[in-house]
Chain A
Amino acid sequence: MRKAGVIKVTDPPDDRRNELMGKIYFWIVLALVVVSGLLFAPEKAGLAIHPMDQFQVKSYFSDHVGMFSITNVTLWLGLAVLAVFALLVLGTSRRAIVPGRAQSVAELAYGFIYKMVEDVAGKDAIKFFPYIMTLFMFIVMANFLGLIPMSFTTTSHIAVTAILAALVFFTVTIVGFVKNGVGFLGLFWVSSAPLPLRPILAIIELISYFVRPVSHSIRLAGNVMAGHAVLKVFAGFAGALGLFSFLPIFAITAVYALEVLVAFIQAYVFTILTCVYLKDALHPSH
């Protein structure tokens, strides 16, 4: 009772002090931003915005990017492997019954994808779980690593996402024919539609089937690339606007938050679409 009274007495000045400190910090940061804008935004910088430079593949030990060259692609793919290893292997090394933070996240990821495969693709798709988990962990780690400033985002390249999508496409097609034989073609023959419509629908279904890997890959690369390019464009504005550079900096903060969301959502979308396609392969009937 008495303690509560004491807190009541001391709270408002604390609040006021915090508010004051917040204001002071705000103005200090703003002043720093303005000063840095004035100091580091000479007129010659102008509107030198190169939003696509960040996507360039650079060889570290030679001028030429050959097939086996060590490039920034190699570095950031390797870091993605390390991140997956750190989370799923080092994070679970204690095998605790009551998990710690890293183990909790690893178990969440496991449960998330396992349930997705089970619910979307069906129980008989569980044997593809390590494959789908590989895709998800790689994409999500690559996306998040790409959000580190000055990093290289491997999933922003169509070459990478096209291979991922092609892997899914060929896996699904092969599994479909192996599991169902010619019956897999029933996927294109919509038996619930009226008979005259079926050939037309079959053509549409066939086209949509072959468009799948294209949309599958471009969706991921496009989203990641666009977000990063937007960040760079705003960064260019921040360099050019001098005194008012705090505006694009706030915009960058907002877009960055959105990008964090997109990084996860695109990995999720890629994975769940993989599960949907796999379901088609395992159960081709409409």
Chain B
Amino acid sequence: MASNTHDTAHDAAHGAADAAHGGGSAMPQLDFSTFSNQIFWLAVTLVVIYLILSRVALPRIAAVLAERQGTITNDLAAAEDLKAKAVEAENAYNKALADARAEAQRIAAEARAEIQSELDEAIAKADAEIADKAAESEKAIAEIRAEAAVTARQVATETAAEIVNALGGSADAAAVEAAVADQLKG
């Protein structure tokens, strides 16, 4: 009897506990006996997560993001710098190229002018030489001509005198000469 009541009491207690624990049919969510446990551990959890986040995780991620932003900004600035430098270098190159071209043209013009002046000089010199030579030749021709004229006169005079002598006359030298001069003039 006693043991029976004990069993019944035990069963009843067990049933109550089952009901309290949800027992499969009811909702364990509405078992208020577990609320204090859940709330206590939830509070611990939230405090721990909050401390982890606010002390370690969030500052670290913020730092990483800021650092990345900084790196990107720096890299962009560096790229801008390098681009400006490249443009500058290109300009310098173009300027050097233009300078070199101008210099080359100047040198070429100078060389051309020099050659022209040398050429002119040489031509003038050649002209002068040619003129000299022409004058000399003319002089020589004139001399030859004069000599030939003298010789022809002499030969004519002598020949005339001989002819006159041969014809039997005695030739007056002055008369013969005058006659020859007369003939030559004609």
Contact = CB atoms under 8 A, between A and B. Distances in A.
B63 to A, nearest CB: 7
B53 interface: yes
A81 B75 CA distance: 38
Nearest to B26: A52
A89 B64 CA distance: 12
Contact of B42 (A65, A89, A95, A154): A154
A69 B39 CA distance: 12
Given A158-B30, A159-B35, A131 B60 contact: no
B170 interface: no
A171 interface: no
Given A107-B64, A160-B42, A137 B71 contact: no
Interface stretch (A8-16, A53-61, A207-215, A240-248): A53-61
Nearest to B34: A57
B60 A95 contact: yes
A29 B49 CA distance: 42
Interface in B19-56: 21-22, 24-31, 33-46, 48-50, 52-54, 56
Interface in B139-162: none
Given A92-B57, A129-B58, A133-B53, A55 B64 contact: no
Interface string A59-88: 000000111110101100110110011001
B24 A84 contact: no
Given A55-B29, A81-B49, A134-B46, A107 B41 contact: no
A129 B58 CA distance: 9
Nearest to A51: B24
Nearest to B70: A97
Contacts of A96: 64
Name B's interface SS.
helix
Contacts, number: 135
A225 interface: yes
A56 B37 contact: no
A84 B67 CA distance: 23
A81 B39 contact: no
Nearest to B57: A88
A106 B30 CA distance: 35
A158 B28 CA distance: 10
A144 interface: no
In this complex, the interface size class of chain A, counting residues with CB under 8 Å from chain B, is 35 or more
A88 B48 CA distance: 13
B65 interface: yes
A54 B30 CA distance: 14
A110 interface: yes
Contact of B45 (A77, A97, A103, A129): A77
Given A137-B53, A158-B30, A67 B45 contact: no
Contacts of A279: none
Given A85-B52, A89-B56, A80 B45 contact: yes
A99 B64 CA distance: 9
A143 interface: no
Interface of B: 21-22, 24-31, 33-46, 48-50, 52-54, 56-58, 60-65, 67-68, 71
23 contacts: A50-B24, A52-B28, A53-B24, A56-B21, A57-B38, A65-B34, A69-B37, A71-B37, A80-B49, A88-B61, A92-B64, A95-B60, A95-B64, A95-B67, A106-B61, A110-B61, A133-B53, A134-B46, A137-B53, A138-B45, A138-B46, A160-B38, A160-B42
